[in-house]
């Protein structure tokens, strides 16, 4: 297909969107609070985009995102992204973020250190706040050094980030969670 296009699709967290062009994904859209807002945001970001039915390769992307948001473990790292609009620093951040597996987390400082720029944690946060491909570039998996959510620019803010991490059963601190099989407050059987 020549030019750009986008489509909306319903997920367990709400209506998401995907935009694509000749070189791969050009954007993803997380849900908005009000009906129609995700469409309006995509239309604003990509004013010349068509709205055709997604071609088979984009349908596969949508299916994989749906599976991940249903608790699947697909890391989505092989999905083609059109990086032509990303600044060099940001793209380096996104490459490291894409390597964080579902259910795993990192910190802004750890990403900065992995880039060889240990003092760039704030710049990492800024780059992640500008991420045009949330979920495919899993900015939600990067936390504050304290294990706190840090920021999240998607509608719903850190609540959306926490929801995504909960779906992935991610550990955000060293404290045991209900997902830890070895940890139980129930008394031992037979005693």
Q: Which residues are catalytic?
A: 139
Nearest-angstrom CA–CA distance, 79 and 61:
7
Q: Look at the chain and count its residues.
A: 191
Backbone CA torsion sign across 96, 24, 43, 56:
negative
Looking at residue 176, what DSSP letter applies? -
What are the start-end ranges of the H helices in the chain? 37-45, 56-69, 88-98, 108-114, 121-129, 157-167
Q: 17, 42 in Cβ contact below 8 A? A: yes
Nearest Cα to 140, choosing from 121, 166, 115, 116? 166
User: What interhelical angle do 121-129 and 88-98 show, nearest 10?
Assistant: 90
CB atoms under 10 Å from CB of 181, counted, come to: 6
């Amino acid at each position: 297909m020549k030019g750009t296009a986008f489509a909306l699709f319903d997920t367990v967290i709400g209506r998401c969107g995907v935009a694509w062009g000749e070189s791969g994904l050009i954007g993803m859209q997380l849900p908005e609070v009000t009906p129609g807002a995700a469409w309006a945001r995509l239309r604003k970001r990509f004013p010349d985009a068509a709205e055709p039915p997604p071609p088979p390769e984009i349908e596969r992307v949508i299916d994989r995102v749906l599976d991940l948001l249903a608790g699947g473990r697909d890391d989505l790292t092989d999905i083609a992204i059109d990086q032509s609009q990303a600044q060099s620093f940001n793209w380096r951040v996104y490459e490291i973020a894409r390597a964080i597996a579902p259910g795993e987390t990192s910190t802004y400082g750890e990403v900065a250190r992995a880039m060889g720029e240990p003092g760039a944690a704030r710049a990492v946060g800024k780059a992640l706040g500008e991420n045009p491909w949330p979920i495919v570039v899993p900015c939600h998996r990067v936390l504050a050094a304290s294990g706190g959510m840090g920021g999240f620019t998607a509608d719903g803010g850190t609540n959306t980030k926490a929801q995504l991490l909960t779906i992935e059963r991610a550990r955000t601190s060293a404290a045991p969670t209900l997902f830890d099989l070895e940890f139980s407050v129930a008394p031992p059987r037979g005693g």
